[in-house]
A and B are shown apart, each in its own frame.
Chain A
Amino acid sequence: MIHLEKRPQPSRFWAGFTPILAVIATMIAGGIMFWMLGKDPLEAIRTIFWDPLFHETFGPYSRPQLLVKAAPLILIAIGLSLGFRAGIWNIGAEGQYIMGAICGAGVGLAFYPSDSILIFPAMVLAGAIGGWAWAMIPGLLKVKFGTNEILVSLMLVYVAENLLASVSQGLLQNPEGMGFPGSRNFRDFPAAYNTEIIGGTGMHWGVAAAFIAVIFAYVLLTRHMLGFQVRLTGQAPRAARFAGVNPTRLILFCLGTSGALAGLAGLFEVSGPAGQVTIDFNSGYGFTAIIVAFLGRLHPIGILLAGLLMALTYIGGELAQLMLGLPGAAIQMFQGMLMFFLLAMDVLSHYRIRFNKNATA
């Protein structure tokens, strides 16, 4: 007879170990699925986890791409994790990501074809402000009127999507685009292009920003009063109030920071890897980042690793489609399994498993 006994305190060992266990369980369950699809499970797993890093043809290209794919996820997830720790749920990072891209790209395109070195920094600033301002809407509504930030931030994603559609065929449309929607491509606008800092490494400015964000978040949470307040509010809201935490300030700080980081991610993406503002420029990073934040246990280092792992399954999944002819849906299932097992394994950190021989029901 097996039964679960609630731990008085979540186990530290299991909290760290369950993500690894979840990856192993995903490999096994995913392997069975690939086998049922008529593919060699070992080869499929190797293609997803190994080939993007070490394949002789793909590796040199995919390794930098891992950073490119992971950077926006990490940048957004770091911001979200601050709020999530304090019980402030910004679900609309996708919208803030879009607004950052629109504002940042707008500033850049306004100065086309200037070659001033100030353009790119101005775009970065505008991107952060765009995302910040968009997140301030649910923030101010919450502190002034007590609205639910989950609903407001989520609804604003759809507003942002429509604004994106509007500017890509209006305000920011490429005047030389023959009536097709979409802005100029930043590739043809060197002063505003988010180029690789070191050629061939994938290290564009957004990747650098993601690493910096990880370090700042780590310092904030472990060494700074504000970080302590964030953690305290999440763990014991009443105690936090007695300790003099100002909830209004905290809500605006958490939403504002996550908005600004999401906006930055959008700007770096639109001016670099994506290259242009288009109707469907956003591809769900803002939502995937929520998963990354939880996969990384809301811890900066965890998020860094989770973002890279997520990117690996994306790129590995693409290679598996190409090389083995696995259907795209199977790859999504595989990623879903990873989330499922991670959440399921949580039971181990919160409960102790007891094997009881003479159980009485």
Chain B
Amino acid sequence: MRAVKTLLAGVALAAGLAGAAQAQDKTKVGFIFVGPVGDGGWTYEHNQGRLAVEEEFGDSVETIYQESVPEGADAERAITQMALAGADLIFTTSFGYMDATVAVAEKFPDIKFEHATGYKTAPNVSVYSARFYEGRAVQGHIAGKMTKSNIIGYIASFPIPEVIRGINSAYIHAKKVNPDVQFKIIWAYTWFDPAKEADAAKALIEQGADVILQHTDSTAPQAAAQEAGNIITFGQASDMSDYAPMPRVSSIIDNWAPYYIARTKAVMDGTWESVSTWDGIGSGMVGIGEITDAVPADVKAEAEALRDSLASGEYHAFTGPLNKQDGSAWLAEGETADDGTLAGMNFYVEGIEGEIPSN
């Protein structure tokens, strides 16, 4: 009797192992998204990266995702369930997932995790982000040249370093070409909320802004600008070319596909290591969407030259002389900002009015 039992157990074990081996043939890649995949901005582009992974590896890969995952207590559960579902590699694509990602990674040491825009790494947690501020420099240049009212509206999301960097970079380059330029900033406290974003855009337009920059992910500000007329905007995270040539005159495009493909490949080959990646226009992680004919040819040429010099590394978006908002010196003539300062940036540069909320 006992022998039979042992035999059965052995068979069951063998069957189980075979099943496990079969499941491992396909590399399973999971994605946690902060918005819906149809947001037309941030999450849309991450999902494009996911689809690119599927296309690149075909049958040898399976992708799973969960959208609109709140950045609170729910995130940890969503990531854990994804780990339990057998994912080999999990991308968590918003800043607010940082602690949850690290906590789940501790419990699943064999699964690789990649967290976007954060700073906490572990042996099985990488971080990656893009130097969006390079794109903001190009936007600022165009905005400074194009504004007639000299008021540029900025829909900011959360006061985190990434957003503050973008404001500073856009302001520096707008100011450079138009010393009279003024920034009006509205903090929306959301990444994706079409109604709130539209309200913010309308409020800025009422205050005289004729250029709207946004660090939120929906196309609602574009629609609001279109309705108001004679306002220019820039696509955020995604090209938003439905609104070209006006109001959308250019865009910052996040292109995650090459990174996602490379990291998936690394897991397949067993060469995955924990890294911190911060790429910009040069590597293609940040793209500048086509500048439309609504922008005069000379401005377009300047903007493209700026883009190319940022890509080649010959120019840095934060090059001195630059002072902080309170007038204290930050960068000397010709000095460029180091990544550490940029990563934790919590101050405005000189000339921006208003305060970063509660700082």
Kindly provide the distance from the CB of B4 to the nearest chain A CB, expressed in whole angstroms.
24
Centre residue among A68, A283, A325 by max chain B CB count within 10 A? A283
A178, B358: Cβ atoms under 8 Å?
no
Contact call B73/A283, Cβ cutoff below 8 A:
yes
Contact A283 B67 (CB under 8 A): no
B103 touches A179 (CB 8 A): no
Q: A178 near B189 (CB under 8 angstroms)?
A: no
Interface residues in A266-292 by Cβ distance below 8 A to B read: 269, 272-276, 278-284
**Total number of residue pairs linking A and B with CB closer than 8 Å:** 110
B72–A274 contact, CB under 8 A?
A: yes
Q: Could you give, for residues 338-349 of chain B, a 1 whenever the CB lies within 8 Å of some chain A CB and a 0 otherwise?
A: 000001111000
A280 contacts B96, C-beta separation under 8 Å: yes
Are the C-beta atoms of A283 and B70 separated by less than 8 Å? yes
- The verdict on A170 contacting B359 (CB below 8 Å), with A273-B76, A274-B73 known, is yes
Q: Given A170-B358, A178-B343, A180-B161 in contact, is the A58-B84 Cβ separation under 8 Å?
A: yes
Of the candidates A169, A280, A319, the one whose C-beta lies within 8 Å of that of B71 is A280
Question: Please, what's the 1-or-0 string for A301-341, where 1 marks a CB less than 8 Å from any CB in chain B?
Answer: 00000000000000100110111010111000000000000
Residues in A with CB closer than 8 Å to B64 are 322-323, 325
In the complex, what residues of B have CB within 8 A of residue A180's CB?
95, 119, 160-161, 344
Per-position 1/0 for A150-165, Cβ under 8 A of B: 0000000000011001
Asked if B72 and A278 make an inter-chain contact with CB atoms under 8 angstroms apart, the answer reads: yes
Residues of chain A with a CB closer than 8 A to B119's CB: 178, 180
B56-80 interface (Cβ within 8 A of A): 64-68, 70-74, 76-78, 80
Whether a CB of chain B sits under 8 angstroms from the CB of A130 is no
Q: How far is the CB of A344 from chain B (nearest CB, A)?
A: 26
* Closest chain A CB from B254 CB (angstroms): 20
A81 contacts chain B at the CB level, 8 A cutoff: no
B270 beta carbon closer than 8 Å to chain A: no
Q: Which residue of B lies closest to A284 (CB)?
A: B70
Instruction: Please indicate the chain A residues that have their CB under 8 angstroms from the CB of B8 in the complex.
Output: none
A322 x B99 contact (CB < 8 A): no
Is B351 located at the chain interface by the 8 A CB criterion? no
Given A169-B159, A321-B67, check contact A276 B189 (CB 8 Å): no
B72 touches A279 (CB 8 A): no
In the bound complex, do residue A279 and residue B85 qualify as a contact, i.e. CB atoms below 8 Å apart?
A: no
Q: Check if B36 is an interface residue, CB within 8 A of chain A.
A: yes
Interface residues of A in 167-203 (CB under 8 A from B): 167, 169-171, 178-181, 185, 187
Cα–Cα distance between A165 and B359 once the two chains are bound (Å): 11
> Using an 8 Å CB-CB cutoff, how does the interface string of A45-83 with B read, 1 for contact, 0 for none?
000000000000110011001001100000000000000
Would you call B36 and A328 a contact (CB within 8 A)? yes
A166, CB-defined interface residue at 8 Å = yes
Q: Are B85 and A322 in contact (CB under 8 A)?
A: yes
The interface bits of chain A over 220-259 (1 if a CB of B lies within 8 angstroms of the residue's CB, else 0) are: 0000000000000000000000000000000000000000
Interface footprint category on B: 35 or more
In the complex, which residues of chain B have a beta carbon less than 8 angstroms from the beta carbon of A323?
64, 85
Which chain B residues lie closer than 8 Å to A166 at the CB level? 357-358
In chain B, positions 80-139 with a C-beta closer than 8 Å to chain A are: 80-82, 84-85, 95-96, 99, 103, 119
Look across to chain B and name the residue whose beta carbon is closest to the beta carbon of A72. Answer: B73
- How far is A274 from B81 in the complex, measured between Cα atoms in Å? 16
B36 to chain A, nearest CB (A): 6
Q: How far is the CA of A281 from the CA of B158 in the complex (A)?
A: 13
* Cβ–Cβ < 8 Å partners of B82 in chain A: 322
Q: A321–B344 contact, CB under 8 A? A: no
Chain B residue nearest to A188 in the complex (CB): B99
Closest beta carbon of chain B to A50's beta carbon, Å: 15
What is the CA–CA distance of A76 and B160 in the complex, to the nearest angstrom? 31
A283–B72 contact, CB under 8 A? yes
Distance, CA A323 to CA B346, complexed state (A) = 41
Least CB distance from B168 to A in Å reads 13
Contacts A276-B99, A280-B189, A322-B82 given; indicate if A181 touches B72 (C-beta within 8 A). Answer: no
Shortest distance between the CB of A158 and any CB in chain B (Å): 10
| B358 pairs with A165, CB closer than 8 A | yes
Distance between Cα atoms of A170 and B190 in the complex (Å): 18
Contact partners of A65 in chain B: CB under 8 A: 77
User: Which residue of A69, A187, A284, A322 is within 8 Å of B103 (Cβ)?
Assistant: A187
Q: Which of A68, A179, A279, A329 contacts B158 (CB 8 A)?
A: A279
Q: How far is the CB of B263 from chain A (nearest CB, A)?
A: 20
A165 to B159, CA, bound (A): 9
Chain A residues with CB below 8 A from B356, complex form: 169
CB neighbours (8 Å) of B85 from chain A are 57-58, 322-323
CB of B98 to closest CB in A, whole Å: 8
Contact A179 B161 (CB under 8 A): yes
Contacts of A181 in B (CB 8 A): 158-160
A165→B357 contact, CB < 8 A: yes
Q: What are 9 pairs between A and B in contact, CB < 8 Å?
A: A165-B357, A169-B359, A178-B344, A181-B159, A181-B160, A273-B76, A275-B103, A276-B99, A322-B85
Given contacts A166-B357, A269-B72, 8 further A-B contacts (CB under 8 A): A58-B85, A170-B359, A273-B76, A274-B73, A278-B72, A318-B78, A319-B81, A325-B65
A interface residues with partner B (beta carbon < 8 Å):
57-58, 61-62, 65, 68-69, 161-162, 165-167, 169-171, 178-181, 185, 187, 269, 272-276, 278-284, 315, 318-319, 321-323, 325, 327-329
The list of the 5 closest CB pairs from A to B, nearest first, reads A273-B73, A170-B358, A179-B344, A179-B346, A283-B70
